[in-house]
A and B are shown apart, each in its own frame.
Chain A
């Protein structure tokens, strides 16, 4: 455990071809052991924020990780500290799952050693894709490919993990599994930031949620503080209901046509409890 490990993002901005895709994004300090979810509508700037942190966007601002200026790192330093899982994964690669994980483990560094190979195989086992070790990525299903990509992301054991929609192609069981891995990674002393669209999933797993809207932070706090009927209406433009489990974590319900028809003329916005 490294209790002093913190991430502090202040005034993070990204310009792309003269347009602000992220403007002055600031968050309170994030701590080791935290799983933070970035939520928000499509095009709000969530992915851009992750890419900026991963050093893949032309970013300005002040990002301090473990007391160091994150944005001033060299590509190699950054690769040591940050594991990034992109949203778009190539589908035609004939590298095997194990080869891809090894490539991720080595990065720009020296090549194969026995312990590297064993480490990569252990990570695959941990994600339940050990049997796929020798299968080319091109032959995997979308969900398996996402798990393989997660293996590539976590294999280095980097202290800051950034996952861009890691469960978008996964069924419920695999979603649970990936979120559980993310949770464990955080508990081992990392900071894990995940972009998610499923707000109920986000609310179940996140310590804190940042809602990104129109290139800015709309709200930041615990799931119960952030996932509110008003926020869902304002940010996502949906009339939704929010329920709470016994631990106080919210779930989001957006009504379909059947319920809208049955609830007379105008849709009621209400809490379940």
Chain B
């Protein structure tokens, strides 16, 4: 049908200006591909910097040597590199990627620039789950006790998003109500968390506070592998949804008139974001602002076309988290700060700057 009815032009189109614009569009695409490649390089460098940084006396040369030939290092240094530095750096990269991707998809499907796992109550719910496991010191047969806390955090994070689904399904899936329900769930989880802190023992309280501030200190290979696995499963689906998500930026009615099933798109994007956020938060605790700042920086760099926005968000999130990890190690000599504090301290001014710049740019 499309070709039956040609769009006639009222006057002859100037072909030279047309091809000039076409070339400009192509150049813009190429520029964005280069930007994404540059971001990938930055993320890798930030990750390496993270590996290089730490209290143990290891210079970069030794580390590079040790990466390719572990036996070149002394036994303790091997342990530092392979059991501490590398898992921490990789977990930082993956957590940053997961949170930023979850944030980018949430912001698009909810038409809300402030949507991210943190603001939708996922993080608070995960913290509540972890706190419950810590305070009551549960013992489940057949489950390694060290996994009980992240497992419970994951269940609660996923549960909060399930609750969000049910609430919105019951009241009609409107993007705005979804955000409001998310905020409500976050507050409720926060209140229960305070209650737990009130009744917790001294010992449990310390663990709890530490978990609440977000930390990479418990990074190990199983957690890195788990998060990598979740990302490997969800990323292809996000990529496949990229063009539909792009259309959604033109408005919900518009997207639906293009034949896109917005309800299903939103549902599956939320499932992906839930999995990513719940897994990330389960291992490192509450880490704010990465899910917010990552996609915003990415959007300023490459625009709203999700074929570029999604990869760029992933890479910006990774790089930011790796840099935050570096800062958390070097800010106070010999002290490893909880990374959640660093991301909040660094993220907040960055975020304020973004908002103010955007306002200024638009006026």
Contact = CB atoms under 8 A, between A and B. Distances in A.
Interface of A: 2, 51, 54-56, 74-84, 86, 88-90, 92-96, 98-100, 103-104, 106-108, 111, 117-119, 121-123, 125-126, 130, 133-134, 136, 138-139, 149, 152, 154-159, 180, 184, 188-190
Contacts of B28: 96, 134
B7 A95 contact: no
B286 to A, nearest CB: 28
A118 B305 contact: no
Nearest to B253: A86
B21 A134 contact: yes
B113 interface: yes
The majority secondary structure among interface residues of chain B is loop
A95 B251 contact: no
5 contacts: A76-B259, A84-B254, A95-B249, A96-B303, A184-B8
A79 B257 contact: yes
B260 interface: yes
A93 B257 CA distance: 18
Contacts of B113: 92
B59 to A, nearest CB: 43
Contacts of A98: 21, 25
A107 B258 contact: yes
Given A108-B244, A122-B13, A94 B303 contact: yes
A180 B249 CA distance: 28
Nearest to A92: B113
B18 A130 contact: yes
A95 B250 contact: yes
Contacts of A107: 247, 258-260
A159 to B, nearest CB: 6
B17 interface: yes
B202 interface: no
Interface residues of B, number: 42
Contacts of A56: 253, 256-257
Contact of B25 (A76, A133, A156): A133
A168 to B, nearest CB: 15
Interface in B81-139: 111, 113
Contacts, number: 152
Contact of A75 (B7, B243, B247, B259): B259
Contacts of B299: 94
A81 B254 CA distance: 14
A130 B21 contact: yes
Interface in B211-269: 243-244, 246-247, 249-251, 253-254, 256-261
A73 to B, nearest CB: 10
B258 A108 contact: yes
In this complex, which of A56, A107, A139 has the most chain B Cβ atoms within 10 angstroms of its Cβ? Answer: A107
B140 interface: no
A103 B6 contact: no
B259 A79 contact: yes
Interface string B174-191: 000000000000000000
Contact of B7 (A90, A106, A126): A126
A256 B197 CA distance: 68
Interface in B315-360: none
Nearest to A124: B21
A112 B173 CA distance: 31
Contacts of B246: 95, 99, 103
A122 B25 contact: no
B203 interface: no
A72 to B, nearest CB: 15
B4 interface: yes
B1 interface: yes
B5 A188 contact: yes
A80 B3 CA distance: 11
A63 B124 CA distance: 50
B253 A51 contact: yes
Interface in B1-33: 1-10, 13-14, 17-18, 21-22, 24-25, 28
Nearest to B29: A112
A195 B220 CA distance: 61
B9 A82 contact: no
A90 B250 contact: yes
In this complex, which of A84, A96, A98, A103 has the most chain B Cβ atoms within 10 angstroms of its Cβ? Answer: A103
B10 A126 contact: yes
Given A2-B5, A92-B113, A111-B243, 14 more contacts: A2-B4, A51-B253, A56-B256, A75-B259, A81-B1, A100-B250, A126-B7, A126-B13, A130-B18, A156-B2, A157-B1, A158-B2, A159-B1, A159-B4
